[in-house]
Amino acid sequence: MEENQKKAFDFAADLTKQLITLSTAIITLTVTFSKDIINLYDSTIRYLLVLSWISFIISILMGILTLMALTGNLDPISPKKLKNADETQPDIPKKDPILTITSSNVTSTSKWQVWTFMIALILTCCYGYRAVSKQDKDNSHKDTYMIIRDTKLGTDTTIYIDTLYLPKKKY
């Protein structure tokens, strides 16, 4: 095997391992830091996070398949040997395996790994943006006084609740 082929296999394996590591780390971080606040948000924000986790898991699985394909290309299974009518094996010239990372079994799983990783990363960023903007909306009345008034009109049993926010004056 030539030196450039060795390097190509090394670089392909390293890239695949890096994406697996990043996917695992991002899942771990989001699970760790969102378990306390995930119930604070509506279901659309939670779905973004769950979809990103699913995409990261698919990316990890595709990365494992890519590493398996790279390994299989380095040491392919030899074809079954044919036997003659007298049960002796003929001398068939052994074909040298084609050592390349551009075979379809490597490139297809690698593409799926990269695409699912990118989709998961975008979903995670969308989750973070939505969670922060939701938190900002919740804190929009932090410098105000909240006045709540319950009203019951006549014999009607319905209770009407009014909320008024008055700004705190800074003198």
In a domain, 154, yes or no: no
User: How much is the pLDDT for 14?
Assistant: 93
Average pLDDT score, the chain? 80
Count: domains in the chain? 1
Assign 5 a pLDDT band (cuts: 50, 70, 90).
confident
In a domain, 55, yes or no: yes
Whether residue 82 has pLDDT greater than 70: no
User: How much is the pLDDT for 111?
Assistant: 95
Host domain of residue 117: 3-78+99-140
Of 151 and 109, more confident: 109
Assign 91 a pLDDT band (cuts: 50, 70, 90).
low
In a domain, 168, yes or no: no
In a domain, 159, yes or no: no
Gyration radius from the chain CA atoms: 30
Whether residue 139 has pLDDT greater than 70: no
Q: Which percentage of the chain shows pLDDT scores above 70?
A: 74
Assign 20 a pLDDT band (cuts: 50, 70, 90).
very high
Whether residue 120 has pLDDT greater than 60: yes
What whole-number distance in Å separates Cα of residue 52 and Cα of residue 1? 40
Q: Which percentage of the chain shows pLDDT scores above 90?
A: 32
In a domain, 145, yes or no: no
In a domain, 162, yes or no: no
